[in-house]
Amino acid sequence: MTRMAVIFGTLAVLWNASATFALDLPTSSGEDGKLAAFFKTYLDQAFQDEPLMATRQGDHRFDDALDDLSPEARAAHVERDRKALAELPRQVTFAKLSRNAQIDFEILQHHLNREIWLAENFRPFEDDPRVYGGYLTESIYLLLTQSTLPKATKLKNAIARMALVPRVVEQAKATIKIPSRVKLETAIQQTKGAIGFYTDELFTLAGEPKGEGELGARAKVIVAALEDYLTFLRENVLPKATESWRIGKDLFVRKLELELDSGISADEVLAEAQAEAIRVEREMAVVARQLWGTTFPGRPIPPDDAEGRRLMTRLVLAELGKDHGAPESLVSDARATVAAIKTFIAKNDILTLPEPDQCRVIEMPEFQRGNSVAYLNPAPPLDVRGSSEYAISPPPSDWTQDRVASYLQEYNRSMLKILTIHEAYPGHYVQLEASNQNPSLIRKILSSGTFAEGWAVYTEQMMLDQGFGAGDLALRLHQLKFYLRAVVNAILDHEMHVGEMTDAQAMELLTGRAFQTEGEAVGKIIRSKQSSCQLSTYFVGRTAFNRLRLKVQRNLGDGFQLGRYHEAVLAHGTLPVKYLPELVPASLKAGR
C-alpha cells in the first residue's frame, strides 16, 4: 500500500522567486505551455488554501501554516475546482496540444470532476474523524522526517504550525456529527498515538530535549487539547456512533469508475475477480501438494476434492507460517530482506534501481496505524531528495497472545520477502522514485493509485518467475497467497458496499477462501468498512499490467527485453493504466 497523496500538490514553488526550492524543469511553449501555465495558477491557489497538501508534495513555503477546515473554507475549495473545470477548455484548446499534453489535460480534467463529485456525495469531515489525523499529527511529522530544509528551519516551521493544531481540534469538535463506529474507533486509537507522538517521538525526531523550550511548551498545549479531544470522541461521539458504513450500489459504481479510471465497470471487476480467485486457488493447491510430503512426512494427504485441496493448502501454510520472528524484530526482519532482493534485481537486469537509495525501513508511527500493516510513503515530488519510508506496523500492545501469534504467522519470513518486493524493491519505492523524475508535473502530482498498486502486485510474481528465491516452493506459495489477497480484496470491496455481506461471511471469504489468518482477516474487514474502492485498485491494476506485458511480449517475440520493458512502463509517470497500451510500445521503439 502507498500513502502517496493522490489529490494534488503545489507547483507554485517552481515559479516563485521567493520559493524555498527552485527546481530545474523543462518549459513548454505553444498550447502545451498554456496548459502548464493553467496548472501553475490553479495549484498556486490550491496550496495557499491547503498548506498540508503543499507539505505532502514537497513545497515548503507554507510549512508554518495549516489549513482552515471550516465549512466555509471547504466550500470555497469546491468552488475553486468548479471554476478551474469550467475554465480549462476555455483557456486550453485540446486539439492543439501534443499527444502527451492531451493526456495531461485529460488527467487534470478527470481529477477536477472526481474531486467535485466526491465533495458533493461524501462528508468526511462530518462522518469520518480519521480525516483530522493528518492535520493533527502528520502535518508536524512530515516537516521533521521528509523535508530537506535545514534543521533550524524545520524546527521553526514545526513550532509555528504546532500553534495552529489546537484550532484543528476545536474545528473537529464543532464539525463531527454521527460517524460510523468502525471509523470512530480507529480515530480514537490514532488520537492516543498522537498524544504519544507529542509526548515522546516529537522530541526524538526534532533532536531536542524532551519537554523543554518552545517546542516543549507547544507540545504541552497540544497534548492537553488532544486529551480533551479524546474525551470528546469517547464520551460525546461514541454513544451516537452508528453501524452504517456501506455506501450503496449507486455511489460505489460511480466512485469506482472515477477512482480507478481504467475503463472497467464495477460488475466487470467483480466477475473477473471471482474467476481469478478460483484459478489462483487451484495453482496454490498444486504448489501445496508438492510441499506436503516434506512438510508432513508420513501423513496421508487430504482427499483430492475441493474441500480436501483447501484443507491441504491451509495446513501447509499454517506449518510454514511457524517460521517467523518476534513482534519486536518485525521491522529488523524486513530490513534483512532488502539486500538480497536488490542484488537479485541488479544481477538479473530487472530494471535500474534508484541511486542514491533513499528508502528507510521504519516502524510505523502509532498515530498512523489502524488501516494497513505496511505502507510506502514516498519522497514528495517537489522535494525529491527527501526520504521515502517503508513502514511496518508491529502488532498492537493490547492484543491477546493468540492474536499476536496469528499476526506473526501471517507475516512470516517468506511473506516478509513478498511484502518488501511489493512495498519497496521493485514495487512502490522504485516505481514512485521513477515517477518523481517524470517531466510532467500533472502526472507527478495527480497520481493514479491503480497504477501504483497494480505495479506493486505485478512485481511479486514477476520476481519469482525470474528466479528470485531459487525455486523455493514455500516462497511461491506465499506469493500466490499474497496475490489471492489482492484478488479477494476486490470481491470484499464490492460485496461489503454493494451487497449485504456480513462480518461472518467476510471472515469466511478471507480465512476460508484466501487462507488468511484470523488477525489479518479482522484487520481487512475493518479496512473494508473504513474505505471504498481502494481495495479494488490492487487487482484491477495488476490485471492491466499483466495484459500489457502479454501483448507487448507477444508482439516483440525474441526481441523482448524485460529490463527495457519495465523501464518503458515506468517512464510515463503514475498515470491511469488505460494509457499504457499506447505509450509503452512507443517508448520501446525509442530504445533504452
Backbone angles phi, psi at 183, to 5 degrees: -75, -40
Write down the H helix ranges in 233-265. Answer: 249-260
Residue 147 CA to residue 58 CA, distance in Å, equals 7
Residues 279-313: pLDDT tens digits? 999 999 999 999 999 999 999 999 999 999 999 99
- How many CA atoms are closer than 13 Å to the CA of 193, on its beta-carbon side? 23
Instruction: Please tell me whether residues 107 and 131 are part of one structural domain.
Output: no
Give the pLDDT of residue 396: 76
For residue 567, tell me if it sits in a domain: yes
CA distances 227 to 69, 194, 451, Å, are: 20, 10, 40
Strand 388-392's sheet: what is its strand order?
359-363, 388-392, 374-377
Establish if 544 belongs to a structural domain.
yes
350 and 406, same domain (yes or no): yes
27 lies in the same domain as 130: no
Q: Do 151 and 109 fall within a single domain?
A: no
- The Cα-based distances of 440 to 87, 104, 146, 566 in angstroms read 21, 8, 22, 19
For residue 283, tell me if it sits in a domain: no
In a domain, 319, yes or no: yes
Read off the C-alpha cell for 56.
505532502
Q: Give the up-direction half-sphere exposure of residue 221: CA atoms within 13 A in the CB hemisphere.
A: 15
User: Is 14 in the same domain as 3?
Assistant: yes
Helix (H, G, I), strand (E, B) or coil at 392: strand
Helix (H, G, I), strand (E, B) or coil at 448: coil
Which residues constitute the domain of residue 180? 124-246
Residue 64 sits in the same domain as residue 135: no
The span from the CA of 375 to the CA of 152, in Å, is: 29
Look at residues 87, 122, 157 and tell me which one is the last residue of a structural domain.
Answer: 122
Dist CA 506 CA 11 (whole Å): 43
At residue 362, the 3 state secondary structure works out as: strand
Tell whether 266 is covered by a domain.
no
How many other C-beta atoms lie within 10 A of the C-beta of residue 510? 25
How many angstroms separate the CA atoms of 564 and 118, rounded?
38
Query: For residue 377, what is the enclosing H or E element?
Result: strand 374-377
DSSP secondary structure, 496-527, as one string:
HHTS---HHHHHIIIIIIS---HHHHHHHHHH
Residue recorded with cell 533532536: 207
Instruction: Report the pLDDT value the prediction gives residue 2, as an integer from 0 to 100.
Output: 67
- Model pLDDT, residue 523: 87
Our CA dihedral for 184, 188, 189, 190, rounded to 10 degrees, sits at 90
Q: How would you write the pLDDT of the chain (592 residues) with one tens digit per residue? A: 765 433 333 333 333 323 333 333 445 779 999 999 999 999 999 999 999 999 999 999 999 999 999 999 999 999 999 999 999 999 999 999 999 999 999 999 999 999 999 999 999 999 999 999 999 999 999 999 999 999 999 999 999 999 999 999 999 999 999 999 999 999 999 999 999 999 999 999 999 999 999 999 999 999 999 999 999 999 999 999 999 999 999 999 999 999 999 989 999 999 999 999 999 999 999 999 999 999 999 999 999 999 999 999 999 999 999 999 998 899 999 999 999 999 999 999 999 999 999 999 999 887 777 557 888 999 999 998 888 999 998 887 777 888 888 889 999 999 999 999 999 999 999 999 999 999 999 999 999 999 999 999 999 999 999 999 999 999 999 999 999 999 999 999 999 999 999 999 999 999 999 999 888 898 899 999 999 999 999 999 999 999 999 999 999 999 999 999 999 999 999 999 999 999 999 999 887 6
Q: Are residues 228 and 183 in the same domain?
A: yes
Measured distance CA(122)–CA(64) in Å, rounded: 29
Question: Can you spell out the DSSP letters for 294-353?
Answer: HHSTTPPPPPSSHHHHHHHHHHHHHHHTT----GGGHHHHHHHHHHHHHHHHHHTTS-PP
| pLDDT tens-digit map of 426-466 | 999 999 999 999 999 999 999 999 999 999 999 999 999 99
Give the count of domains, the chain: 3
Cα–Cα distance between 267 and 257 in angstroms, integer?
11
Region of residue 137 (phi > 0: left; psi between -120 and 50: alpha; otherwise: beta): alpha
Give burial (CB, 10 Å; 0-12/13-18/19+) of 224: middle
The answer as to whether 274 is a domain residue is no
- Whether residue 459 lies inside any domain: the answer is yes
Q: Are residues 437 and 344 in the same domain?
A: yes
**Same domain flag for 191 and 314:** no
Whether residue 381 is preceded by a cis peptide bond, meaning omega within 30 degrees of 0, is no
Helix, strand, or coil (residue 376): strand
Distance separating alpha carbons of residues 190 and 390, to the nearest angstrom: 19
Q: What is the pLDDT of residue 365?
A: 84
Do 66 and 129 lie in a common domain?
no
Domain end marker among 72, 101, 122: 122
pLDDT of 4 reads 47
Residues 344 and 448 in one domain: yes
What pLDDT does residue 14 have? 31
- Of 157, 186, 474, 443, the closest CA to residue 316 belongs to 474
Q: Is the dihedral of CA 17, 18, 24, 29 positive or negative?
A: negative
pLDDT attached to residue 60: 95
Structural domain ending residue among the three candidates 91, 122, 153 = 122
296 plus 172 within the same structural domain: no
- Answer yes or no: are the C-beta atoms of 147 and 140 closer than 8 Å: no
How many angstroms separate the most distant Cα atoms in the chain? 75
C-alpha 129/C-alpha 516 separation (Å) is 29
Exposure b/e, 352-370, CB count within 10 A at least 16 = b: bebeeebbebbebbbbbbb
Residue 255 covered by a domain? no
